[in-house]
């Protein structure tokens, strides 16, 4: 009987080992068109992780709520009652589609990681974030 050594890559929750040192990111991204349609999907949650001052200077994407990056973890750990009182929106469950946005997508990716660490299963990054939104909507960047 011949026995072969078979290499089975270890799969982490948001990445896969594709080769010796290559890691492919499995983060899910959303497009401008998907963000544009969010008013038709109120069960999805768009969270802008920029600082409030940034939103005052530029504006915000409709339907988004503001949770600055530095408080994402503690805010997503609030009780349902506290979350509703603060945001007037239902608190997302671990299965809710939660989309993070920021200025250019970097902080949104950090927020995705924070949410995944809390057990959220359906987190996505609007990688174009405010810069793309503003450009396509003709707004101040």
pLDDT of 8 higher than 50: no
CB 102 within 8 A of CB 69: yes
Per residue in 12-38, pLDDT (tens digit) is 444 444 444 544 455 699 999 999 999
**CATH no., domain 27-137:** 3.40.250.10
pLDDT of residue 11: 41
Positions marked active-site: 102
User: DSSP E strands: which ranges in the chain?
Assistant: 11-12, 15-17, 23-25, 28-29, 45-48, 64-66, 98-101, 123-125
Number of helices and strands in the chain (H, E): 6, 8
CB 30 within 8 A of CB 17: no
CB 29 within 8 A of CB 125: yes
pLDDT band at 140 (very low <50, low <70, confident <90, very high): confident
Higher pLDDT among residues 77 and 12, named by residue: 77
pLDDT of residue 26: 52
The residue assigned the tokens 């899910």 is: 28
Distance (Å, rounded) from C-alpha 91 to C-alpha 24?
31
Higher pLDDT among residues 16 and 75, named by residue: 75
Average pLDDT, the chain: 86
Average pLDDT over residues 104-113: 96
Locate the domains of the chain by residue range: 27-137
With pLDDT > 90 as the criterion, what percentage of the chain qualifies? 78
pLDDT of residue 16: 42
């Amino acid at each position: 009987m011949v026995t072969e050594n078979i290499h089975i890559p270890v799969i982490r929750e948001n990445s896969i080992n594709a080769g010796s040192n290559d890691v492919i990111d499995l983060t899910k991204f959303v497009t401008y068109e998907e963000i544009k349609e969010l008013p038709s999907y109120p069960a999805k949650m768009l969270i802008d992780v920029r600082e409030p001052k940034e939103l005052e200077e530029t504006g915000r994407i409709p339907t988004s709520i503001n949770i600055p990056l530095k408080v994402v973890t503690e805010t997503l750990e609030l009780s349902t009652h506290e979350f509703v009182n603060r945001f007037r929106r239902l608190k997302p469950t671990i299965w809710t589609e939660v989309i993070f946005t920021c200025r250019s997508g970097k902080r949104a990716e950090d927020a995705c990681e924070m949410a995944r660490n809390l057990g959220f299963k359906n987190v996505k990054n609007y990688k174009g974030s405010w810069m793309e939104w503003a450009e396509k909507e003709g707004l101040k960047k």
